[in-house]
Structure 1
Amino acid sequence: MLTIAEFLALPAVRDAAPEEAVAPASPETSVRWVHSSEIYEIGPLLSAGDLLLTTGLGLAGVDAGARRHWVRELAGRGVAAVAVELGRSLPDLPGELLDEARRRGLPLYVLRQVVPFIRVCREANAVILDADARRIRMVDAVLADVHAALAAGGGTPGLVTAAAAVTGGPVALVTRSGRVVAAAGVRDERATDRLLRRPAAAAPVRVWDVDWGAVALGAGSATDSAGLDLLAPRLARVAAVAVGQSGAGSAGDPAAALLADLLTDTVPGTRELLLRAGLADFHPAPGAAVVGLAASAPDPRPVLAGWARAAHGEGLELLAGRVRGEALGLVAVPGSPDRTDPVGWLTGLLPATGTVTTVGPAVPLAEAGHSLRQAHAALPTATLLGCGTVPTRELTLPQLFAGLDDRALRRLVEDALAPLTAWDAATGSDLVHTLAVHLRAGGSRTRTAAALHVHRQSLYQRLARIETLLGRPVDDPASHEQLVVATTAAQLLHARDRSDGRPRGR
C-alpha cells in the first residue's frame, strides 16, 4: 500500500502545492486507493483507507450543516484523507469543513495549484498496484517453495523454513494452546515467545473442522505488513494440509488412533505428537502435567463419559477413546497450589464407575506415551487386586511380583510373617491384612484405623498382638522393607486364590 507521506511526495501531488490542514495520526497511515469525485453522496461509495480528491463542486451549493455531515460520513467510512483543490467551486476552505475534520480526526489537505486529478490518480494508484503486485509475487514465491519443501518430505519444519527464507522474517507453526510445532528465523526461545505474543500477521489453521492452531509471521526484510497479511491465510491453508498428512490417518477418530500409537510407542517424536494431539482437539497448556488413564470394562463408553464429565467440570483438556476394547486417555492438569500432586488429585476426581481404572505418572506432554503405557501395563495387576481407581505408583511391588509363582510368593510370606499367618489360620483373624494397611498408611495409627473402619483402641490391640507374635516392633526401620514385601506377596496370593475360586490358605 501507499502511505500518506509517500502520496504527498508524488510528483503530481507536489505540483498541486499541497498544504496540511488536519494532520493524520501518522504519516505512515496507509492509502488503499485514490479516487476523485464531485458528488455530495460519495461517502457510502468509499471504503476504509481510500483517499478522496475533490474540487468541492458537490459542496458549493449546500449549507454548513450539510458540509459537516459530509465530513462525518467520510470519517465514519474510515477514509484515509481528503484533498480539496481550491478554485472556482471553493475559493477558500470553509471553516465548518476544517472544524468538523478536526473534530472527527479526518486528515485534510488543501491543493493550491490545479493539477488534473487523472494524473494524480494514475501516479498514486500505479504505485499501489505495483506494491500489490510485489506482494502477490512474494506470496507466490513463498507458496512455491513451501510446496516444494512438502513434496520433498520436509513436513512442517520445511514449511516454516521455506516461508522464513522468502519473507526474511520469523515464522512459527503453533498449536491452539501455544505449543510450538516448528519455527524458523528465530534465534532462541525468547525470540519465539516475542513472535507469538506480537506477530506481524497470523492466521488460524483448521483441519477437519478442528481449530488446530495458527501460523504466526514476524516482520521481514522482503515484505511489509500488508504482504504478511496477504500471506498468512494462504500459508495457513497449506499448513492445514501438511498437518492433516502428518501420519494421523483420517478424520475418523484421530484420538483413538493417537492413543493406539502411543500405546505401541510408534509416535516418532514430540513434533508428531503435537501435530496429532491438536488434530484430536487435545491442547495442553505449556507447563501442564499430562497423566495417562486406562480402564478395562465390558462397555468402555460409560467410563469415557465419566472421564469427560470430570474433565469438563474442572476445565481440563482430555484426550480419550476406545482402543482394543479398553478405555484409554490422557488428561492435562495445569499447575495449581491445590494440585501439587496431580496424580493424587486426579485420582480423587475421577468418578467411581465400578470398574478398575489406573492412573499413570504425571509427565510433560512429550512423555505422554510413557504415562499411558504405565497405566495400561498396570491394569491386569489392578484388576487382580480388585482395585477401584488407583495410581500406578501404588502398584509398583505388586507388578514386580506378578511374575512370581505361588510357591515363591508363599516363601516371601512365610519367611517374614509365619507367626501371623498361623495365628490368622487358627483364629480367623486378619492380622496380615491389618499390618499391610498399617504399612501403607505410613505407620499412622489414625489413618490405619480409618482405613480399617475400627476404633483406635481395637487397632492398638491388634498391633500389640502383631508385635508380640513377630517379636519386634512393626515400626522398626530395620524390618520395614521385608514386611512391606511380605504383605504385598500375601496380598497377591489372596487375590489369586479369590480369582481362581480357591479357599484361602497358608
Structure 2
Amino acid sequence: MGLSLKEVLADDTFRKAAPLVRAGADSVEQTQVRWIHSSEVMDIAPLLSGGELLLAGGQSLASATPEERGRYIKALAGRGIAALAVETGGVLKTMPQDLIAEAEAAGLPLIELTRVAPFVEMAEAINSLMVGQSVELMRRADLLSQQLASALAEGAGLKQLLEILAMVLPAQVSVYDRTGELLERAELPAAPEADGGAAALDFDIALRGGVAASLRLQPPDGHDPAWYQTAGTRSAGILALALQQRLAPSLTDVAGTELLRSVASGVQGIRLVQLCKAAGMDPGAAFVALVAQPEASVSRWAPVEQAIRKNVRKVVVYVQQSDLVAVAALPAEATQAAKAELVRRLADSMGGQPVIVAVGPVGNGISQAARSLAEARLTISLSPVGLYEGAVLDADDFAIERLAFKEPDGAAARQLVRELVGEIVDYDALKGSRLLETLAAWLASGCNTAQTARTLFLERQSLHSRLDRIFGMIGGDPRGTERLAGLHLAVRLARYLDQQ
C-alpha cells in the first residue's frame, strides 16, 4: 500500500522543506509513492525499480552539464520513479530551467525543496508509515489465501474461486488461457460499478515451467491498487492448482519443457535428439537460444512469452522466477538473415517490458543449442548498464566482448587500447570528460554525426567540438583510412575492460 505524492508532500516533515511542484503537476494527485530514497549519484537509475520518490541535495546537478541533466531525467523517468525532489538554495542555488523542461517533457513530477530538507527525517517518517501499511496488506492477503485454499480443499472449482475473489477484493475477476481466450469470469455483485473503473491488473498463472494462463482483476474506481497487486500475486498460485486438470499439458508441451531443461543443463546425445523430435522440431535444424532477464521486479512473463511465440514459428519456452529461456528453430536457408529479422521483430514487440532479452548465436543442430544459450546469458552479463526496458540484444553484436571475456590474459587487449585510444582514456580520467563514450557512439552509428548527436542528446556544435578534440588525439579523422576498424575494436575493448 503506497501513498499518493500529494499525501507525501502534505506530510509535516515535507512541509518543513517548503516543496514546490515545478513539473508534472497534473499527475501529483494520482502518482503513488512506494518508497523514499536519497542519492546524489547521477547514474542511480539502474538501481531503482519504480515507484520511488528520489531526494537529491543538488550537488551533482549543479556541476552537471545540461546534456548530463537531460540523460539523468530521462533515465529516472524510464525507470518509472514516482518523482524527483531536489533541494535548492545551497550548492544548487535555483532549479535549472533545462531540468524543469526535461522533467515536464518526460512526464516526471519534479519537486523543488526551497528550504533545508531533513532527508533522514523525511524518509524515516514516510517509509515507516508505508511499512506499517504493507504489514496490514500482507495480513489481509494471508486471510484471502486461507479462504481460497480452504475452498479448493473442499472441492471448489475455478469458477467458485473466482467468485470468492470477486466478493472479497472486490473486483471483476477473469482468467484467460495463454492465447487470450476467456476461461472463466466472476462479476462484482454490483457489476456496473466495475465498468469504467480503475486500470485492470494482470498476473501470470504458472504451471509446469510455463505461463499457462493469466488472471485479470478489474477493480472499481477509487480503490487502492496496492491491495489488488498483493492479492493478485497471492491468488495466482492457488488458481494454478485449480487449473492443473483443466489445462492438462500435451505430450509436445511436456517434451518441450524437458528439452529446455536438458539444454540448460548441458545434456547431449540421443536423449536430446529424442526430446527435440517429440517437441515437434527437427534436431538437425538451425537453432538460436533466447534469454530474458528482469531489469527490475517482473510480475509477468506472459507478454514476453507471447512476443516470442508471435515472432517464431517453432519455439519452446521455459519460464522460471529468475528468467525466461527459449530455443527457436530457424529456416534452413538464409539463417543469419532470419535471425536478424527475429531480433528486429522482437525489439518491435517488447513494448517496454521490464526485461532485457538476448538472442544467442546460430547453432547447427540441437546439440549446439546449449552453446547458444550460454552465449546469450554471457551477452546480457556484458551489456552496458542502464539499457532501456525491452531492449533486445544480439550476441553477434557483442562478439568482441565475448571473445575478450574468454581470453585468460587481457594484456594484449589492454596494450591495443593503450596504443590506439590511450590518450583519450587518460584525458577522460583527468578531466572527467566523456570523449571515449562519444567516439564509441560515433563509430557505432557508422560515423553518422546527426545520429550520434541524437544518441548522446548533444547539440551538433558540441558534438563537432568533441570530435575535433578526439581526432587530434588519434592522429586525424579516421574515415576512409585503414585505422577505422582497429579504432572500433579498441573502443569496444576499452569499454569491456573498464567493467572488469
Sort the TM-score into its range (normalised by shorter chain).
Answer: 0.3 to 0.5
Q: TM-score, normalised by structure 2?
A: 0.44
Report 1 or 2 for greater relative contact order, CA contacts < 8 Å, sequence distance ≥ 6: 2
